[in-house]
């Protein structure tokens, strides 16, 4: 996948959701067939030999490539969601954010000790949500877990949210 093609098709929205924030809109990457296929192909190549049994997509943009990649890898797909969205018994992890706390949940029976899990989301900024989801997956006794994002905002140092032994990969660093 050509990184310049991704950059060219990524929409930047200034002052969203609040003044001073430059928002990177990945929906423009998803609507472009070349970008979408290229991202799926590249992610597949990165993880095809890792023994992935489950892909966890984080609400909500992580569902798009996460689901497509799970199907391509022959793995199951798990949704990590905010409270009140999953119908069966859940396990959860609460984490600190800039302006308070938030919680992420998965179904209690989603992951077991035989699973090799790939966690996927669209953007690595500060890393809080993904780090909480990673801790949740590890609490579920996953054999191994990998972390992946489409985009990493390097200036925000989101990688520092993960221990050194956690493999974090991205398709595009900005």
Which residues are tagged catalytic?
Answer: 61, 98
* Spatial separation of the C-alpha atoms in residues 161 and 127, rounded to whole Å: 6
Helix (H) or strand (E) holding 4, with range, is: helix 3-9
Q: Return the half-sphere exposure (C-beta side, CA atoms, 13 A cut-off) of residue 34.
A: 10
Q: Give whole-number Cα distances, 50 to 23, 30, 67, 72, in Å.
A: 32, 25, 17, 13
- Axis crossing angle, helix 33-47 with helix 62-73, rounded to the nearest 10: 50
| Whether 137 contacts 157, CB under 8 Å | no
* Spatial separation of the C-alpha atoms in residues 140 and 113, rounded to whole Å: 7
Best CA proximity match to 26, nearest among 38, 37, 35: 35
């Amino acid at each position: 996948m050509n990184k310049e093609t991704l950059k060219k098709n990524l929409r930047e929205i200034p002052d969203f959701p609040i003044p001073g924030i430059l928002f990177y809109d990945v929906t423009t990457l998803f609507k472009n067939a070349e970008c979408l296929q290229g991202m799926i192909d590249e992610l597949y190549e990165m993880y095809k030999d890792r023994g992935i049994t489950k892909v966890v997509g984080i609400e909500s943009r992580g569902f798009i490539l996460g689901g497509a990649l799970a199907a391509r890898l022959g793995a199951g797909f798990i949704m990590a969601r905010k409270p009140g969205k999953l119908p069966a018994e859940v396990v959860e992890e609460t984490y600190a954010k800039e302006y308070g706390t938030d919680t992420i949940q998965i179904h209690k029976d989603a992951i077991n000790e035989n699973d090799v899990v790939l966690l996927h989301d669209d953007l690595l900024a500060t890393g809080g949500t993904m780090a909480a989801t990673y801790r949740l997956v590890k609490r579920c006794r996953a054999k191994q877990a990998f972390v992946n994002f489409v985009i990493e905002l390097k200036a925000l140092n989101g990688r520092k949210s993960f221990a050194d032994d956690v493999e974090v990969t991205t398709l595009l660093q900005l």
